[in-house]
């Protein structure tokens, strides 16, 4: 038995591959294009482990995916591969459409061809799990109820629109062809191996260098934070017990204003790596993200009630683990801050200097 994972060298994908092999012991074929966000160093602890087979390639390359499916005969596909950063989608949306929409379509077509030809027992057991985001639901007002699986889609950024399009394709492949799909829509993840373009690892990396901590707009936007290990356990639960064609929202029940997240980080770093005057002094308000969603919140009652899943970490325990991981892995941070990273930081923050 083998599963095929796409995007398994990225942040959540790599955490999932490590978690899967530790928890299930089942072999993984890991397909990743190794964009700026993909990093084989995330999987270094699996070096020499025969349960992990890495294959560099693009989910949009039909012949490549067909060959992998034929060779490895997976019993399931877990699809993480995507362009994932909202600010990059605002600067350059084309790659988001290419990978998130066209790539997902190509992957679905390849999987449909493979699945259709399977014998009945394998066909019935096969699963295609699509990893998506809460951003497809748009933005919430302060008093709105949290996103549920029946909330209407209203994506606001090129990133979330491309993910919404991919979710619709996955849904249609179940409805039209009977492909045995499952979809998860998860809130903001944080934890080890997250690329320091995203809020939490960017703030940790900047704080450790004594650089400004750039808070967009008024810093009162709200996200629902989930430790990445809890996202991995949710995906395992949905893959094992989810009802075919169903969507499961996944969240940490941890709504926080961005500014409160940054304050919590500063206070943690003050304890772990004290600096003169404290880290909060580094906070700098910068120009807001265009079309910035104000609030996300997840109603996770379905996955809890049907599958018995709930997060193991609170925001406090997850953040403490995360900060400790970044402090203990300065080499990893230094390695990912390559030329491409520096170019991105200059591009994204140069035009935000006016707060
Ligand atoms: P990431 O950007 O860290 O990793 C994405 C990975 O996909 C990288 O390894 C990259 O090399 C690979 N990839 C990109 N284009 C590819 C292509 N065409 N073919 C093959 N591989 C390709 O992203 P992440 O934060 O780990 O997110 C993973 C998935 O989870 C995404 O689908 C994202 O939409 C979803 N998600 C993320 C979050 C979050 O908070 N990060 C929350 C909910 C859902
Ligand atoms: O909600 C799930 C989504 O969470 C995922 O689908 C995306 O892949 C993931 O990137 C994340 O999107 P966000 O836009 O919410 O995450 P990001 O870390 O980019 O930003 C979190 C919040 O912090 C957001 O309100 C913008 C703000 N922010 C971000 C950066 C990078 C700042 O204030 N300053 C910053 O420098």
For 14-38, what is each residue's pLDDT tens digit?
999 999 999 999 999 999 999 999 9
Cα of 36 vs centre of ligand 1, distance in Å, is: 11
Taking only the tens place, the pLDDT of each residue in 190-222 is 999 999 999 999 999 999 999 999 999 999 999
Instruction: Say if CB 69 and CB 110 are below 8 A apart.
Output: yes
Please spell the DSSP secondary structure of 180-212, one letter per residue.
-EEEEEE-EEESTT--TTSHHHHHHHHHHTT--
* C-beta separation of 259 from 214 below 8 A: no
> How far is Cα 325 from Cα 138, in angstroms, rounded to an integer?
32
Residue positions annotated with a catalytic role: 134-135, 159
HSE, side-chain direction, 13 A CA sphere, residue 170: 30
Q: What is the pLDDT of residues 75-97, one digit of tens each?
A: 999 999 999 999 999 999 999 99
Q: Give the burial string for 257-293 (b: 16+ CB within 10 Å, else e).
A: ebeebbbbbbebbeeeeeeeeebeebbebbeebeeeb
Which residues, 6 or more positions from 314, have their beta carbon under 8 angstroms from its beta carbon? 254
How many C-beta atoms lie closer than 10 Å to residue 72's C-beta?
17
- Whole-number Å distance, alpha carbon 349 to ligand 1 midpoint, is 22
Residue 342: inside a domain: no
The structure tokens 């919430």 sit at 140
Task: Evaluate: CB of 37 within 6 angstroms of ligand 2.
Answer: no
Distance CA 223, CA 215 (A): 14
214 lines ligand 2 (CB under 6 A): yes
Euclidean distance between CA atoms 315 and 264, whole angstroms: 10
**Could you tell which of 82, 86, 135, 266 is best to mutate to test the pocket of ligand 2, judged by most ligand atoms within 8 Å of the CB?**
86
Taking the C-alpha atoms of residue 163 and residue 130, their distance in angstroms, rounded to an integer, is: 10
From residue 340, give the alpha-carbon distance in Å to each of 207, 285, 308, 336, 343: 20, 25, 42, 9, 5
353 confidence band (pLDDT: 50, 70, 90): confident
pLDDT digits (tens, 9 = 90+) for 326-341: 999 999 999 999 888 8
Express each pLDDT in 265-311 by its tens digit.
Answer: 999 999 999 999 999 999 999 999 999 999 999 999 999 999 999 99
Residues 82/12, Cβ–Cβ less than 8 Å? no
Q: Which residues pair with 190 in a beta bridge?
A: 227
Whether 336 maps to a domain, the answer reads: no
Specify if 116 maps to a domain. yes
Q: What is the mean pLDDT of the chain?
A: 97
Tell me which residue has its CA closest to atom 29 in ligand 2: 199
Identify whether 282 is part of a domain. no
In a domain, 230, yes or no: yes
Residue 149: give the domain boundaries: 3-195+225-255+292-315
Rounded Cα gap, residues 243 and 334, in angstroms? 43
Residue 128's DSSP bridge partners are 77, 181
pLDDT interval class at 354 (50, 70, 90): low
Quick check: CB of 15 below 6 Å from ligand 2? no
Mean pLDDT over 98-112 rounds to 99
Distance (Å) from CA 143 to ligand 1 centroid? 31
Confidence of residue 355 (pLDDT cuts 50, 70, 90): low
Quick one: average pLDDT of 216-243? 98
List pLDDT tens digits, range 167-179. Answer: 999 999 999 999 9
Q: Which of 9, 12, 226, 318 most suits a substitution to test ligand 1, by most atoms within 8 Å of the C-beta? A: 12
**What CATH number does residue 186 fall under?**
3.40.50.720
* 90 in a structural domain: yes
Pocket flag, ligand 1, residue 37 (CB < 6 Å): yes
Choose one of 136, 216, 222, 300 to mutate for the ligand 2 pocket test, by most ligand atoms within 8 angstroms of C-beta.
216
Q: What stretches of 80-171 adopt beta strand conformation (E)?
A: 127-133
User: How many domains is the chain partitioned into structurally?
Assistant: 1
């Amino acid at each position: 038995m083998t599963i095929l994972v796409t995007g398994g060298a990225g942040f959540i994908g790599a955490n999932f591959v490590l978690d899967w092999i530790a928890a299930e012991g089942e072999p993984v074929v890991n397909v990743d294009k190794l964009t700026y966000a993909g990093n084989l160093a995330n999987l270094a602890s699996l070096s020499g482990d025969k349960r992990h087979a890495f294959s560099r390639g693009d989910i949009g390359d039909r012949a490549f995916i067909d060959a992998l499916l034929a060779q490895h005969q997976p019993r399931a596909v877990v699809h993480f591969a995507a362009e994932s950063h909202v600010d990059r989608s605002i600067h350059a949306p084309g790659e988001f459409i290419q990978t998130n929409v066209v790539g997902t379509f190509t992957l679905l077509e390849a999987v449909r061809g493979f699945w259709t030809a399977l014998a009945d027992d394998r066909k019935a057991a096969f699963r295609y799990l699509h990893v998506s985001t809460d951003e497809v639901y748009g933005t919430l007002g302060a008093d709105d109820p949290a996103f549920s699986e029946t909330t209407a889609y209203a994506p606001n950024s090129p990133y979330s629109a491309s993910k919404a399009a991919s979710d619709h394709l996955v849904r249609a492949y179940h409805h039209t062809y009977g492909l045995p799909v499952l979809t998860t829509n998860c809130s903001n993840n944080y934890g080890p191996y997250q690329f320091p373009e995203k809020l939490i690892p960017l703030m940790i990396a900047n704080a450790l260098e004594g650089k400004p901590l750039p808070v967009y707009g008024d810093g009162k936007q709200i996200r629902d934070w989930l430790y990445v290990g809890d996202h991995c356990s949710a995906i395992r639960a949905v893959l094992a017990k989810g009802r075919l064609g169903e969507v499961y929202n996944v969240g940490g029940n941890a709504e926080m204003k961005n500014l409160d997240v940054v304050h919590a980080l500063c206070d943690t770093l003050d304890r772990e790596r004290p600096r003169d005057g404290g880290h909060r002094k580094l906070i700098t308000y910068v120009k807001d993200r265009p079309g910035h969603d104000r609030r996300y919140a997840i109603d996770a009652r379905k996955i809890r009630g049907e599958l018995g899943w709930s997060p193991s970490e609170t925001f406090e325990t997850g953040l403490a683990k995360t900060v400790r991981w970044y402090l203990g892995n300065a080499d990893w941070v230094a390695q990912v801050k390559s030329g491409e990273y520096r170019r991105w930081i200059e591009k994204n923050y140069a035009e935000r200097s006016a707060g």
